[in-house]
């Protein structure tokens, strides 16, 4: 298993390995992501409907897919395994607040953590396997093991591995890895994950 | 190759507190969907509160545990008691599958707490059983407990563990009811899967547990083994299924590609929303399975969300073992555009394998395959 690309978003900074791609003094996630969206001229109106956690996952996936030869793979050959700690707690609380007056279906749909994979799937026409785990902390063993198991199922050639966790406008973290079964480049193993996570 | 078989099971739902009791009630055509009060806008399938309380007292469960955690513990405990596995062993893993776990806690206090986190619940459940390994939690909308079976199968095939306990559970809460109401997805009458007059789903609550083993031990359900499974995404819409059924068909075909066997039966998701049932029938047809007998069990249990996949798998394992096809309760007039072989009335039917399928928000689909 090899790492094709990597992206992290935290503390007002979007980085690809050691290279900082975008940073802002504006730590507040929503305005920070919006400025990235505008500066990079992304045109995807669905972005504005997403909750903060999905926006975080979406922008990270846009960065991850830069320079990726998507056309080389069939829709079914790309799988996703994601995890986080919060599930969708922030949106759960917003939804429940709304439900005291008029429950919002537009919020309710975002009370499922796997929706972020659905958003990335729609944007990039990805139809492979989907798995969402909840863990207290970033768990490289879990993600490595599940990625390996996904590659054992025949059609899977690429796995997007993600940790996307939103607690508040100040506390958020996205780490996305684009992994290929065969090829060259940095090995997808515990040591390299930890190295990348240090940025 | 070593078969992966089942050494224990449990269902806790409106229809009982053991797998056997639930199956017998399904067999006699009982529905757990009841109007909970005279002016209730829709029926719900709820666990009997008194018996639940008795069972909690019986195990002497701590008051610090939430209702969700108690439900999972009761379910796992009953399944383990039938089996010879040592749940404390390093060779055993617990996988919890749920969509919303303790979400009801927000209703008394709408703020962030440790207790509401799914890993916290899983940790408490694992600690009760003195499990050696950190439990896994899968939260993938309504396919959660089908996916958990797929993950368990893969981990056992790769010899990472000898036994895996999969528990799928979800409770009814005002949070859940209001959400489905806001989508106008709830049927005012007990749901009618694949029916011309279906107009939404009915909600239920419950838990289901299966113990998967790759050891040579006592195997339940006539030695039925889990052979294959897969998931997929529609890449179409976050809250509506694909119009063509191609996403679910991908999960089915990927599963059949591994199993190399044509299924003798299909336990459908069959929520009775207009879109789901239409999509599912198309997916079954796209997979070339129009002739295979199909049912939906949603009119017995309601839609139990993260528990649905595993509860329906267990009922179908019983049905396969006893050569019975459970009819789709409440189904009167066929009402989807694609023709599939829907079983409306319970009949004797011998089948040696089956597919359990499910779909959910976020465009997710999953399938799992069992064979005698």
Per-residue pLDDT of chain B (372 residues; tens, 9 = 90+): 679 999 999 999 999 999 999 999 999 999 999 999 999 999 999 999 999 999 999 999 999 999 999 999 999 999 999 999 999 999 999 999 999 999 999 999 999 999 999 999 999 999 999 999 999 999 999 999 999 999 999 999 999 999 999 999 999 999 999 999 999 999 999 999 999 999 999 999 999 999 999 987 789 999 999 999 999 999 999 988 888 999 999 999 999 999 999 999 999 999 999 999 999 999 999 999 999 999 999 999 999 999 999 999 999 999 999 999 999 999 999 999 999 999 999 999 999 999 999 999 999 999 999 999
Instruction: Indicate whether B52 and B201 sit together in one domain.
Output: yes
The Cα B226–Cα B219 span in angstroms is 12
Domain boundary residue among B192, B213, B234? B213
My answer on whether B92 and B173 are in the same domain is yes
Note whether residue B282 is domain-resident: yes
> Do both B354 and B297 map to the same domain?
yes
Q: Which of A137, A2, A119, A88 is nearest to B364 (CA)?
A: A119
Query: Measured between CB atoms, which of A114, A129, A154 is closest to B232?
Result: A129
Are residue B249 and residue B344 in the same domain, yes or no? yes
Chosen for mutation from B103, B105, B175, B179 (greatest number of chain A CBs closer than 10 Å) is: B179
Residue range(s) defining the domain that contains residue B109: 5-213
The C-alpha of A137 sits at a distance from chain B's nearest C-alpha, in angstroms, of 9
Q: Nearest residue on chain A to B176, judged by CA atoms?
A: A108
Q: Do A132 and B140 touch (CB under 8 A)?
A: yes
Task: Answer yes or no: is B218 within a domain.
Answer: no
Here the tokens at position B283 are 């997916």
* Number of domains observed in the structure of chain B: 2
* Backbone torsions φ then ψ of B227, nearest 5 degrees: -105, -35
CATH of the domain at A150: 3.40.47.10
CATH code where residue B129 lies: 3.40.47.10
Residues B299 and B329 in one domain: yes
Which residues on B lie below 8 Å from A121 (Cβ)? 233-235, 363
Rounded to an integer, what distance in angstroms lies between the CA atom of residue A81 and that of residue B58?
40
Does B79 reside within a domain? yes
Task: Please tell me whether residues B228 and B328 are part of one structural domain.
Answer: yes
- Could you tell me if B53 and B196 lie in one domain? yes
In a domain, B70, yes or no: yes
- Which residues on adjacent β-strands are paired with residue B169? B207
- Which structural domain, as residue segments, surrounds residue A120? 2-197
Q: Is residue B201 located within the same domain as residue B244?
A: no
Q: What is the total count of domains within chain A?
A: 1
**Domain shared by B209 and B276, yes or no:** no
Same domain, B14 and B128: yes
Q: List Cβ neighbours of B182 (8 Å cut-off, separation of 6 or more).
A: A99, A102, A103, A104, A105, A108
Strands (E) in chain B, as ranges, are 5-12, 33-34, 44-45, 92-97, 136-138, 163-170, 203-204, 206-213, 225-233, 266-267, 293-295, 324-325, 341-342, 347-348, 353-360, 364-371
Q: What is the DSSP letter of B129?
A: T
Taking residue B10's Cβ as centre, other Cβ atoms within 10 Å add up to 28
């Amino acid at each position: 298993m090899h790492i094709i690309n990597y992206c992290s978003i935290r503390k007002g900074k979007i980085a690809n390995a050691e290279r900082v791609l975008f940073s802002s003094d504006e730590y507040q996630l929503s305005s920070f992501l919006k400025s990235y969206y505008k500066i990079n001229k992304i045109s995807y109106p669905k972005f504005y409907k997403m909750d903060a956690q999905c926006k975080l996952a979406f922008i990270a996936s846009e960065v991850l897919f830069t320079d990726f030869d998507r056309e080389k793979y069939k829709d079914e050959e790309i799988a996703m395994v994601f995890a986080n700690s919060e599930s969708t707690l922030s949106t759960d609380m917003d939804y429940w607040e709304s439900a005291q007056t008029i429950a919002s279906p537009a919020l309710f749909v975002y009370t499922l953590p796997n929706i972020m994979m659905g958003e990335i799937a729609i944007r990039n026409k990805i139809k492979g396997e989907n798995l969402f785990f909840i863990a207290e902390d970033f768990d490289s063993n879990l993600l490595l093991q599940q990625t390996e198991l996904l590659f054992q199922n025949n059609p899977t050639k690429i796995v997007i591995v993600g940790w996307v966790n939103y607690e508040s406008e100040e506390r958020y973290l996205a780490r996305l890895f684009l992994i290929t079964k065969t090829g060259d480049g940095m090995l997808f193993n515990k040591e390299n994950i930890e190295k990348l996570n240090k940025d | 190759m070593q078969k992966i078989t089942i050494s224990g099971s449990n269902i806790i739902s409106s229809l009982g507190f053991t797998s056997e009791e639930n199956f017998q009630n399904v067999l006699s055509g009982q529905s757990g969907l009841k109007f909970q009060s005279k002016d209730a806008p829709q029926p719900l399938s709820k666990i009997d509160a008194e018996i639940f309380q008795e069972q909690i007292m019986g195990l002497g469960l701590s008051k610090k545990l939430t209702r969700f955690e108690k439900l999972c513990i009761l379910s796992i405990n009953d399944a383990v008691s039938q089996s010879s596995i040592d749940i404390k062993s390093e060779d055993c893993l617990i996988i919890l599958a749920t969509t919303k776990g303790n979400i009801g806690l927000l209703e008394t206090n709408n703020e962030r707490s440790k207790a509401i986190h799914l890993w916290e619940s899983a940790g408490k459940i694992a600690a009760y059983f003195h499990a050696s390994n950190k439990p896994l939690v899968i939260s993938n909308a309504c396919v959660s407990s089908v996916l958990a079976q797929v993950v368990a199968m893969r981990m056992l095939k790769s010899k990472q563990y000898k036994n895996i306990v999969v528990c799928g559970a979800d409770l009814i809460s005002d949070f859940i009811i209001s959400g489905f109401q806001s989508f106008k997805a709830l049927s005012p009458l007990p749901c009618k899967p694949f029916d011309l007059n279906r107009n939404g789903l009915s909600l239920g609550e419950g838990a289901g547990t299966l113990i998967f083993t790759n050891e040579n031990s006592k195997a339940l359900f006539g030695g039925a083994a889990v052979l294959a499974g897969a998931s997929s995404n529609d890449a179409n819409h976050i809250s509506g299924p694909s119009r063509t059924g191609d996403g679910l068909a991908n999960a089915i075909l990927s599963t059949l590609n591994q199993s190399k066997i044509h299924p003798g039966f299909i336990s459908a998701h069959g929520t009775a929303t207009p879109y789901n049932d239409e999509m599912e029938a198309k997916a079954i047809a796209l997979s070339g399975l129009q002739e295979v007998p199909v049912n939906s069990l949603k009119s017995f249990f309601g839609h139990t969300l993260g528990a649905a996949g595993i509860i329906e798998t267990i009922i179908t394992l019983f049905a396969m073992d006893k050569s019975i096809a459970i009819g789709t309760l409440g189904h009167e007039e066929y009402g989807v555009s694609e023709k599939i072989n829907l079983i409306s009335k319970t009949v004797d039917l011998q089948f040696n394998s089956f597919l359990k399928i499910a779909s959910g928000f976020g465009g997710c689909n999953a399938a799992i395959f069992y064979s005698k």
